[in-house]
Amino acid sequence: MIRQRTFWMVALSILITAIVVMLAMSLGRSDKTVSRRLAHRFTIDDPQFRREMSVMLGPTITHGNQVTALQNGAEIFPAMLAAIRSARHSVTFETYIYWSGTIGKEFSEALAERARAGVPVQVTIDWAGSVRLDQALVDEMTAAGVEVKLYRPLRWYNLGRFNNRTHRKLLIVDGRIAFTGGVGIADHWSGRAEDPEHWRDSHFRVEGPAVAQFQAAFNDNWMKITGRVLRGPAYFPELLPAGTMQAQLFIASPAGGSESMHLMYLMAVASAARTIDLAASYFVPDELLIEALIEARRRGVRVRVVLPGPHIDSETVRIASKGEWGPLLREGVEIHVYQPTMMHTKMLIVDTAFVSVGSTNFDLRSFRLNDEASLNVFDVGFAAQMTIVFELDLRDATPFSYAMWLARPLRERIAETLILPIKSHL
């Protein structure tokens, strides 16, 4: 009875999503899309890889950065709040999810306190991601002097862009400290991923020249909303080296460079020579990415993927994702499903030398519909550290075999077929 109810709930969800997609009139694809597989011509440690990452994705790879990994809300939120409270010149903050609750209140109070102290504070929140944000919190911030802007609120004149959301997670303080990763501002990101009520996620603190790219990324949508450009040393101070890591922060959006994220993943997978480790909270790859992962396996690359297990916030995504696992499993891609709670981490590690983190999911929504931001780090030590984190998550995940995929129930196969028309919008 419970399974039948779940099936009909999924079917209803699919129908509603399809209606929204059609109303949004966003079924078209970008004029600039990658349609052919990239050949394996050089490896991650070849200077050509970094050269092409710079020219293809836009921002140059900067030197002299320090990137610090933070795990789960117990580490992430205190670090972000401490940075906000230390602000002396500016705070810029863009996020998809911002909900009321204990964490939402703490952030609102910290932002408001800095604004009352005379620090310019600009905040961009996606309209769809703010549906659980009480207006009272927004009013408190604006009364204190915080500039709060909602990204693409529902209006008759922007129905064609309703499905294009900002999914970026960017916090920049004084133009010198930046954060990005997977967390939104909501209570289920708090804690230590200790139970299904507290999600597993990672976020990253950055210092050094790459922080200017974070500020430019925030400016991208701020200009779309307000028509204003944030300038001056409060936002773009001189940045001296803060470490030894090479890094770049690049963005993508349907309005410009929508294929950048897709291209980045394809380039990284095509250049892998030894290992690919992928943690993906929403994994609905297109045919090109499936082919790229299979081709990597055929040239001897070990591919390990950690995905959400029984705890996921979208049953529709879970079904669409599992429908794509078969060809990968058959070729020897290792898929592991995370058990303790919702796994919301987004991380790619290639050959223990290159790491990509940020807001981007391994799906076509992130590649073609959302505004996204990803941080690429070219550093062997950092990659080794992130591999340890990845393998700790592997301990809490269960391997999923090709035989298990073949034995999935008929109702799941039917649901996978029903989902196909809207797969790229999940």
CB atoms within 10 A of CB 139: 12
DSSP string, 11-80: HHHHHHHHHHHHHHT--PPPSS---SPPP--S-TTSHHHHHHHHHHHSSPPEEEEEEEEEEHHHHHHHHH
User: Which residues belong to the active site?
Assistant: 167, 169, 174, 344, 346, 351
CA distances from residue 378 to 61, 91, 279, 323 in whole angstroms, order as listed: 9, 27, 18, 33
21: number of CA atoms within 13 Å, CB side? 17
Beta-strand relationship, 121-126 and 283-284: unpaired
What tokens does 237 get? 């101070």
Q: Residue 294: what residue type?
A: I
Does an H or E element contain 390, and which? Answer: helix 380-395
DSSP bridge partners of 65: 245
CA–CA gap between residue 96 and residue 168 (Å, rounded): 6
Write down the residue that tokens 């900002």 correspond to. Answer: 166
**Contact of 252 with 261, CB cutoff 8 Å:** yes
Q: Residue 215: what residue type?
A: Q
**Contact of 318 with 308, CB cutoff 8 Å:** yes
- Assign 357 to helix, strand or coil: strand
CA–CA gap between residue 416 and residue 421 (Å, rounded): 10
CA–CA gap between residue 117 and residue 110 (Å, rounded): 11
Write down the residue that tokens 């090109």 correspond to. Answer: 288
CB atoms within 10 A of CB 249: 26
**Contact of 54 with 210, CB cutoff 8 Å:** no
**Contact of 181 with 324, CB cutoff 8 Å:** no
Q: Residue 96: what residue type?
A: Y
